[in-house]
Every structure is written in structure tokens, then in C-alpha cells.
Amino acid sequence: MTELDELRALVAQGCRVAAARGLVDGILGHLSLRVDDERLLVRCRSDTDTGVAFTRPGDIRLVAFDGTAGAAGELDGYRVPNELAIHVETLLANPAHRAVAHLHPPAVVAADLAGITIRPIYGAYDIPGAWLARGGVPVYQRAVLIRNSALGKQMVAAMGAGPVVICRGHGITSAADTIQQAVLQAISLNELARMSLQVRAAGGALRDIDERDWDDLPDLGSGFNIDAAWRHEVTRLGD
């Protein structure tokens, strides 16, 4: 197996993890990974596509940033996502971002439409999630299909310097250095939204955790927050 084959398998695995966590449904949503300054691996569609939950390494194709094949034969029988611009513009805007997950987590969409701002309402329950929300999660206000670079740039501008953005009435974009981190961020964001909806439904008020608690919410390191967490996600898949 070549290095490119291994990367295809990783992106495909990330797609299946996202689907298993309910962050996408059916055929909607896609992940990508930058390969070099001009190309990325991205989940593409074919006439035999059976949905994100069943993504195969062969569904991950090498594509140039302009949407053309990244190598001979890469788009034979495959089509790039309509929203390729989400991936390209996110990667171009921040060199630290190598992986992009565009997903449709229903709890996040519902919370945003209900006027709920994603905030750090809990702490040690999910420390990475709490820190993700501490500075606020930005919202791209348009509910459109982001199918060109102009719309992609608008979304990226709304995203700012942060790693995630909510697309109103649409979904989210999560960007990171790795596929694992991009998907795990999305899982944390969806859990914050789900818990916020649950608290509101129970008649409770949403309050940020106490400011003094942050000093005792340490970074437990990538070995725990990413590596161990990803092993769990992969094991849940049965991979």
C-alpha cells in the first residue's frame, strides 16, 4: 500500500466515523485532506455511491484545487462535490489546516435555528469541547449551497481564525491539522449543541462554566484527546 493509499483509507474512515456519530446522513457531507499546495484528497461521488456511512477508500479521489483531476484517471467515473469550494477556500485561508470536514449535524443546526449560541456550558464532561466553545463558535448566516469560491470565501471570513463554523440552516465546517482532529471537533460541537437543546427542553437556563474553573481544565495531550479518542471511534465502527 502506498502512502497515498493509506491517506485515502484514512479519509474514508473519517467519513464512516462521522456517519456513525450521526453527523451526516445519506449521501450528504464530505471530508478532505491536503496533499500538497495544489491538490487534495476528497470524498467524491459516483453512480454507485451508497452514502457517506459506506465510504470506501476508492471514493476518495485526488483532485486539484480547481476541481480537475489531480492525476490521470482520478475522476474517471467520479464527480467532485458541489461544495468543493468549502474545502479549497478553507485550506487556502490557513496553511495550518490540512483536513476539512463539512458535515450536517442535526443538533447543531437545530440549536442554531433555535437561537442557541454554542457556549462552554460544561467542563470536565468534555474538556476539548469546552475549550473549543470558550471563545464562541461563529455562524455563517447564509443557508446556501456553497458551490463557488465567492461563497466559500464568505464562509471562511465568517469562520475567522477559529477551527469551526456553523453554516445556518445547513451544517458545519471543521478544519484541523488531521482528519482525526477535524472529525473529533465536530463530535464535540454536536455534543455541546445536543446538551444545550436538552437543557433548554428541561426548562433550564444555559450558563457558561465559572471562569475560575478553566485553570483546572488542562490539556490532557494529543495521546488522550486525539489518539485514544480516535481508537474508540474506529473500534465503534468495527474497523
**Any catalytic annotation for residue 83?**
yes
Q: Could you give the CA distance from residue 147 to residue 196 in angstroms, rounded to a whole number?
A: 31
Q: Could you give the CA distance from residue 42 to residue 89 in angstroms, rounded to a whole number?
A: 14
**Do 91 and 57 meet the contact criterion of CB atoms below 8 Å apart?**
no
Q: Could you give the CA distance from residue 207 to residue 187 in angstroms, rounded to a whole number?
A: 21
Q: Could you give the CA distance from residue 170 to residue 141 in angstroms, rounded to a whole number?
A: 10
Q: Which of 6, 38, 83, 191 is catalytic?
A: 83
Query: What DSSP letter does each residue of 141-198 carry, written as one string?
Result: ---S---SHHHHHHHHHHHTTSSEEEETTTEEEEEESSHHHHHHHHHHHHHHHHHHHH
Q: Could you give the CA distance from residue 172 to residue 106 in angstroms, rounded to a whole number?
A: 10
Helix (H, G, I), strand (E, B) or coil at 102: strand
Strand duo 39-43 + 60-64: pairing: antiparallel
22, amino acid identity: G
Q: What are phi and psi of 60, to 5 degrees?
A: -95, 110
Active site residues: 83
